[in-house]
Chain A
């Protein structure tokens, strides 16, 4: 039968050997922390948008398509602008996650995550539909010149495939990605709320020290 002092001796009897590190560059981590995953998703998404906008810009300048109407170039410019806005927006979100201070007590740490969650919910509700509508308008303008004078059936097919893709991207891919992000955020918040409850729920039945 061991008492608590005996457990303390067990804990203290053997110093744990940890990896020796002579600077921050030697640190690496493979842990799948929620915060890291959330940051990573924003960073990769933002970088992807920049690459797409660079590619479309390159096509506009060097593609030599010889479009007759100015608004066809306008539509390509709109897509580039939308991608850049989306990239900036993702970078902003990334900095918001980075700004969450891990050195605060758990309850204050929880408040920061709750504030971030509220901000993200506002962004998701507004940004997703607006981005989709503007992208659809840009594509619609682009198709005016691209599809004009072509046989009806191929035109109909292209338009239907494009609409189907936009609906699939918005209602399936987009929602799936948001659901994943929301689950991660909720997992952090639930964990911290559970701990907050554990810290609050204590009946004063005994004292120590």
Chain B
């Protein structure tokens, strides 16, 4: 592949996958500026590793794996507690109550309070990725994944409803 084609392919991949990857990063960090930085980091890694792509997986699986590993290895200053962060969550919300913006912000913040692996998995589920693809991205058995997703959905719904009532 020559450099021109590679750049065109990269731009196409960026346009196709960056919105979804950004949401995953946002759910993982709960912080917009960190998520923007992580998104850039993911696509820098995509560009640097494009020559290694062997078509053993789809582009989607390959890029999402890079995103998952990038999220997992980024340097955090402090670990956020998993739950019971009502004050912090409410402080992060926009002032206008009951808006779409408030709902989505609350959802991102609730996701960022789940354990790391769960944040990434549920982001992929919310994005409607097939379970087989999520299993390939995370590297686990589909049946185990179903069990896990069942539990994460329940946990996330509980956290969201608890803070939505506040």
Interface residues of A (CB under 8 A from B): 1-4, 7-8, 10-19, 21-24, 27-35, 37, 101-109, 184, 187-188, 191-192, 194-195, 198-199, 202-209
Contact = CB atoms under 8 A, between A and B. Distances in A.
A205 B126 contact: no
Interface in B104-151: 104, 107, 115-118, 125-128, 131, 136-140, 144, 146-151
A47 B13 CA distance: 35
Contacts of B45: 102
Contact of B41 (A8, A29, A106): A29
Contacts of A109: 69, 72
A79 to B, nearest CB: 35
Main secondary structure on A side of the interface with B: loop
A31 B49 contact: no
A203 to B, nearest CB: 8
Given A19-B36, A205-B147, A102 B69 contact: yes
A72 B34 CA distance: 54
Among A2, A11, A17, A37, residue most surrounded by chain B Cβ atoms (within 10 Å) = A11
B44 to A, nearest CB: 5
Nearest to A208: B150
A33 B77 CA distance: 11
Contacts of A107: 139
B146 A209 contact: yes
Interface string B33-65: 010111111011101010011000000001001
A101 to B, nearest CB: 7
